[in-house]
Each structure stands twice: as C-alpha cells, then as structure tokens.
Structure 1
Amino acid sequence: MAWFDDKHTFNKSVLRIAHVTDCHLFADKDGEYFGVNTASHFEQALAHMAQKPLDCVIFGGDLTQDHSFGSYLLFSELIHKSALTCPVFWLPGNHDEITMLNRISGGQINSAKHIAASGIELLLINSKGPTPAGWVTGAHLDETTECLVQSSSKKIIFCHHNPLPINGYLDKHMLENGPQLLNVLVNSGNIIGVFHGHVHNEYEQSYRELSVFATPASSTQFKKYSAQWQQQNCGPAYRMLYIDTEKDKIGMKTEVVWLNG
C-alpha cells in the first residue's frame, strides 16, 4: 500500500485539530528524559486536549526514547485510558519505527496519512531518514506530488523534521532536503501551512510566503536560538488548529497551548 492510500474522511467543513509531538516515552512509566517524566507530561496533554471538542489529534513523531516496543504499548495505553474520544493519527519521527507504530494502530489510533474534509485535506509526510536528520525520499516526493494534484482542495502538511533551519543545535538534524519538499509544496499552489515537531519549541517561519509552524514537545523543550543543546522543562505543550471551509476563503487559525503558561 502506498503511503497516502489509507484515507480518512470527515463529513464536515469545520475542523478542530490538536497537534502533539515528541513525547519520548519509555517502557517504564516512570522513565525520565532530561529529568522530565515524559509519560506524566503526555498524560497531562491528553487530559487537557480531551476537554476540547476535537475532531482529531495528529501525533507528530518521536513517540519513543528507549526504542522499546514497551514504550509504544505505553503510548497506546495512555491514549486509551484518557478521556480523549477522537481519532489519533500519527507520523514517524527519527526515533520511531514505522513497523511498531503500525502494530499499535487500530481503532482510535489510526494509521491513515491522508485526511479529508469539505474543501481541505491533511497530508502526513514521512520525513524519517537513515540518520537522526530527516530525508524525504524521491519516491515519497513523487507520491506527495501526485497526491497534491489529485484534487483542487487546499491542503495542510504535517511532517516531523524542521524543513527550515531554526538557528539552533537541532539544525544538524533538520530535514536535509527541506527546501526541495517546500518547493514542491509551494509550486502546487494549494498549501496553506506546514506543521512540524522535532525542534522542541515554538517557531513560526515562512518560505516563499508559505507559513511553516513548529509545535513544542509534550515532553521537554530545547532552548531557542542556542548553538548548545540546552533543555528547559516548560511543562507539556501542544498546538491547536482551527480550520473553517464554510466561507469562500478557507480560514486557518493556530495557537500553541502551554499547560504551565
């Protein structure tokens, strides 16, 4: 099955989406990532999101820190034990194994990478490369291009790695062919935003007038604009997207939710 063949459709013109990313779980629920209990932070984010009338959650990658299947099972357990009732879609981060993500998929955890509603489509791109840095293969770029031209609907893109430098330590592990991907997206003429994780903080950039948004981690943040890798426990965070296609012009609003803010 090709990456975008599995499609999920919402029969509505207004979408409320939460983007949560980089939970870095361990098999041990008490595991800590730079002094942060990542399972507790993820639970807090899930509980907060469950209070909102969400249509779906998109998990932006780096589920695991210890690379154990137990961490994937904990991710599934925390979602199913939460009050969250909407579907949770996922895309892989550099820490993740797609085979393990597929093993926990089913029911509420949905493996679809092409999400459609009235007048809008969401595409979840695979930026996992052979190293911690990101890479979108030529075949996947072709798949993406084909999906972009199949309909005239406006589209929103999600990937894990930052396609643009953030002037920080994580640039050494950014999406190495990010400009190539962004040019494909811009040239299609129907992309209204790109959202990614990986950088563990909030950023807003643009590329040829295309808005590119980074969502902070649910686990811990990395200090912005620092050449050194510095961690900051700012509490859990996620991003909300509000999409309205009822009017002639599609509207999209987004905001970061800091639970300790």
Structure 2
Amino acid sequence: MAWFDEPYLIDKSSLRIAHITDCHLFSNKVGEYFGVNTANYFEQALAHMAKQSLDFVIFGGDLTQDHSPESYFLFSELINQSDLTCPVFWVPGNHDDIAQLNRMSGGQINRAKHIVANGVELLLINSKGPTPAGWVTGTHLNEITERLFASASSKIMFCHHNPLPIDGYLDKHMLENGPQLLNILVNSENVFGLFHGHVHNEYMQTFRSLPIYATPASSVQFKKHSPEWIQQDHGPAYRLICISTKKENISTDMEVVWLNG
C-alpha cells in the first residue's frame, strides 16, 4: 500500500492542530533521557493540549529512546489515559520502527498520512533513512509529487528530519536530500509551509520563500547553534497551529507553547 493511500477527511475550513515531537519514551514511565522523565513531560503536554479544542494532533517522530515494543505501548497508553479526545497522527523518526508504529495504530491513533480539509491538505512525509540521517526515497518523492499536483488545494507538509542545516550538532543527521525535496515542494507552487522535529528546539528558516518551522521536543532541548551536543531542560513544548482557508485564501496563526515558560 502506498504511503498516502488512506486519506483522513475533515469537513472544516478552519483547523486547530498541535505538532508535538521527540518524546523519547522508554519501556516504562520512570525512564529518563538526560535526566528528564520523558513520560511525565509527555503527559504534561497531553494535558495541556486537551484544553485547546484541537481538531487533531500530529506527532513528529522519535517516539522511542530504548527502541522497545513497550515504549510504543506506553505512548498509546498515555494518550488513551489523557483527556485528549481528537485523532493523533504520526510520522516516523530516526529512532522509530515503522512496523511498531503501525502496530500501535488504531482508534484514536490514526495511521493516515494524507489529511484533507476544505481548501487545504496536510501531507505527512516519511524521512526515515537507513542511518540516523534522513532520506526520502525516489519512490516516495514521486508519491509526494503526485499528491502535490493532484488538486489545487494548498498543502502543508510534515516530516521528522530538518531539510536544511540549523548550524548545530544535529546537522550531521539532517535530511540528506532535503534540497531535492524542498525544490519539489516550491516548484509545485501550492505548498504553504513545512514543519519538522528532530532538532530539539525552535527554528524558523526559508528555502526559496518556503517557510520551514522546527518544533521543540516534548522532552529535552538541544542548545541552538552549538557544534557540541548540549542538552537543556526547558520543560515540555509543542506547537499550536491554527489554519484558515476561508475565501479561498490560506492563513495560519501559530505559537510554540512552552509549558514551563
């Protein structure tokens, strides 16, 4: 089955969504990532998002830190036990196993990668490569191109890896064919923006006028513009995105929510 073959349809022209990423869970709730209890931070973020009247949540990858099947079960359990009632979609991160992600999907956790609303479509890209760095296969690039030109609706894209350097340690693990992907997006002339995780902090860049937004992690942040891998505990974070397509024009209003800010 092709990546975008199961669309999720929502009959709305205005959307409130949350982008949360890089929770790095362990097999149990006491696991710590650089001294941070990641399950506790994820729970805090879920509780906060549940109060935002969201249409859905997009999880940006790196669900697991210890690569255990139990960490995927914990992710599902934390969502099911929270007050969050909207669908949760996902893209795979470099730490994740797609088979495990598919296995946990069902009910509230939805495996669809093509979300279709009134006047706007969201495409969730697979940037997981054979190494910690990202790679979008040629077949997947063709799938993306077909979806971009299949309708005149504005498109918003999500993936895990950063497609451009962020002048930091994780540039060694960025999306290796990022410019190729970005040129396809820009050349389609109907992509409004791209959102990613992976870099564990907030960034905003542009590529040929295409906005590219990095959402901070729900777990630990990495110091910006540092050649060294320096961790910072700033508390859990996520990005709130409001999209409107009224009068055939798309507009967005967004903010990064720092729970300890």
Give TM-score scaled by structure 1 length: 0.99
Cα distance in 2 for residues equivalent to 1:122 and 1:257: 21
SS at match of 1:132: coil
Deviation at 1:247, TM superposition (A): 2.7
CA deviation map 1:29-66 (0-9, x unaligned): 10000000000000000000000110000000000000
Cα distance in 2 for residues equivalent to 1:248 and 1:87: 26
Give the residue type in structure 1 aligned to 2:239. R
Cα distance in 1 for residues equivalent to 2:9 and 2:248: 21
Structure 1: 4+ residue segments shifted above 2 A: none
Cα distance in 2 for residues equivalent to 1:97 and 1:86: 24
Matched, 1:201 2:194: no
Cα distance in 2 for residues equivalent to 1:52 and 1:177: 35
Give the residue type in structure 1 aligned to 2:114. H
1:215 corresponds to? 215
Q: Give the superposed CA RMSD.
A: 0.5
Give the residue type in structure 2 aligned to 1:93. G
2:183 corresponds to? 183
Unmatched 5+ stretches in structure 2: none
Give the residue type in structure 2 aligned to 1:186. V
2:4 corresponds to? 4
Q: What does residue range 10-159 of structure 1 map to in structure 2 within 5 Å?
A: 10-159=10-159
* % identical equivalent positions: 72
Cα distance in 1 for residues equivalent to 2:141 and 2:99: 21
Deviation at 1:28, TM superposition (A): 1.6
1:260 corresponds to? 260
Cα distance in 2 for residues equivalent to 1:53 and 1:14: 12
Deviation at 1:254, TM superposition (A): 1.5
Give the residue type in structure 1 aligned to 2:200. H
Deviation at 1:241, TM superposition (A): 0.6
Give the residue type in structure 2 aligned to 1:237. A
Deviation at 1:182, TM superposition (A): 0.1
2:169 corresponds to? 169
- Say which is worse superposed, 241-250 or 200-209, in terms of deviation: 241-250
Matched, 1:228 2:233: no
Cα distance in 2 for residues equivalent to 1:222 and 1:134: 18
Give the residue type in structure 2 aligned to 1:33. Y
Contact 2:119 2:248 in 1 (8 A): no
Give the residue type in structure 2 aligned to 1:119. G
Cα distance in 1 for residues equivalent to 2:6 and 2:21: 21
Cα distance in 2 for residues equivalent to 1:242 and 1:164: 24
Cα distance in 1 for residues equivalent to 2:200 and 2:247: 34
Give the residue type in structure 1 aligned to 2:222. F
Deviation at 1:248, TM superposition (A): 3.5
